[in-house]
C-alpha cells in the first residue's frame, strides 16, 4: 500500500511514513487547509483517513529543527497515560540558557541535536488527567514539573540525590523532547503541586520561584 500527501509546511514531521508521490491517484479527504492524503485505490481510503486523523491529533510544539532554525508545527509526542502518570496542560514555560545554546550552537557538550527536538524544560501548568494509581494529585491541581526523570532504581535515586543519576532523562536534552507544547505526560512522582497564591510563572525555575522556596 502506497500513499503520498499534498504539499503542506507541516508535513516534514510525518514524511517518514510515506513513499514519494505517485501519479494518477485520487484525493481522499482534506484534513487541514492545503493538506490531503492520497491513495492508490478505494480500499486504501480507510487507512488513509486514519493517517489523516493521526496527523490532525498531533500537538503543535516549538521545534528546534536544527541549529539556528525553529518551527511552530505539529509533531508526534508521547500521549499514553500510564497508571503513575499525570497529563498536564502547559501554562508557562521559561526559556533557559540551554534552550538558547541549543538554538545557537546545536549542541551542548556530548548532547547534539541530530533530529528535530521540542525545546523547554522549566514549566508549570494544570493537571487535566491522572493515572489510576496517582493519589497525590487530582484534576485541576496547579503544578510544576521536575524536568529530569531518573532511573528510580539507581544508586543516586535511592540516596535521594536523583538529579545526579547519570541515566537521568532530561527535558529538551537530545534525544528527549521538551515541554514547549500544549500538554505533557509526566510521572506524578516528579510533579509538584503549587499553592494557589503564586502565578504559574512563579513556579520553580523562575527567580520568584526560588524566593518562594527559600521563604
Distance CA 142, CA 129 (A): 12
Residue 22, pLDDT score: 34
Joined together, the cell numbers standing for residue 112 give 547534539
Q: Check residue 68 and give its pLDDT.
A: 94
Q: Under a CB-based contact definition with an 8 Å cutoff, are residues 201 and 124 in contact?
A: yes
Helix (H) or strand (E) holding 26: strand 26-32
| Gap between the Cα atoms of 141 and 130, Å rounded | 10
Query: Helix H segments across 38-145?
Result: 45-57, 97-105
Q: Which of 102, 95, 91, 18 is CA-nearest to residue 55?
A: 18
Predicted pLDDT of residue 195: 86
pLDDT, position 143: 95
- Beta partners for residue 94, in sequence order: 122
Q: How many residues does the chain have?
A: 215
Structure letter (DSSP) for residue 195: P
Q: Quick one: pLDDT at residue 46?
A: 57
> Residue 26 to residues 3, 73, 158, 190, 205: CA-CA distances in angstroms?
10, 27, 58, 49, 51
Considering Cα of 137, then 141, then 143, then 149, what sign does the dihedral take? positive
Using CA atoms, how far residue 60 sits from 6, 101, 134, 174, in Å, is 20, 22, 27, 19
Helices (H) and strands (E) in the chain — how many of each? 4, 15
119 close to 98: Cβ distance less than 8 angstroms: no
Inter-residue contact 49 to 155 (CB < 8 Å): no
Q: What is the chain's pLDDT, residue by residue, as a tens digit (215 residues)?
A: 333 443 443 333 333 334 334 333 333 333 444 444 444 444 555 555 555 556 556 788 999 999 999 999 988 888 889 999 999 999 999 999 999 999 999 999 999 999 999 999 999 999 999 999 999 999 999 999 999 999 988 999 889 888 888 889 999 999 999 999 999 999 999 999 998 765 555 554 443 443 343 33
Domains of the chain with bracketed CATH: 1-57 (no CATH), 77-206 (3.90.180.10)
Amino acid at each position: 500500500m502506497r500513499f503520498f500527501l499534498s504539499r503542506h509546511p507541516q508535513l516534514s514531521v510525518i514524511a517518514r511514513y510515506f513513499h514519494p508521490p505517485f501519479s494518477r491517484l485520487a484525493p481522499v479527504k482534506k484534513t487541514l487547509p492545503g493538506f490531503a492524503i492520497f491513495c492508490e485505490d478505494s480500499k486504501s481510503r480507510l487507512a488513509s483517513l486514519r493517517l489523516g486523523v493521526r496527523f490532525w491529533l498531533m500537538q503543535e510544539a516549538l521545534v528546534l529543527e536544527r541549529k539556528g532554525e525553529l518551527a511552530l508545527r505539529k509533531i508526534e509526542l508521547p500521549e499514553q497515560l500510564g497508571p503513575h502518570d499525570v497529563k498536564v496542560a502547559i501554562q508557562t514555560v521559561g526559556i533557559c540558557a540551554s534552550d538558547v545554546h541549543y538554538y545557537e550552537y546545536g549542541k551542548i557538550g556530548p548532547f547534539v541535536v541530530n533530529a528535530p527536538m521540542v525545546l523547554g524544560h522549566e514549566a508549570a501548568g494544570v493537571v487535566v488527567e491522572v493515572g489510576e494509581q496517582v493519589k497525590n494529585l487530582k484534576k485541576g491541581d496547579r503544578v510544576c514539573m521536575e524536568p529530569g526523570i531518573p532511573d528510580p532504581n539507581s544508586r543516586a535515586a535511592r540516596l535521594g540525590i536523583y538529579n545526579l543519576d547519570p541515566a537521568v532523562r532530561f527535558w529538551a536534552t537530545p534525544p528527549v523532547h521538551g515541554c514547549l507544547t500544549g500538554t505533557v505526560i509526566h510521572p506524578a512522582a516528579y510533579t509538584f503541586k503549587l499553592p494557589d497564591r503564586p502565578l504559574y510563572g512563579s513556579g520553580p525555575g523562575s527567580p520568584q520561584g526560588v524566593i518562594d522556596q527559600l521563604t
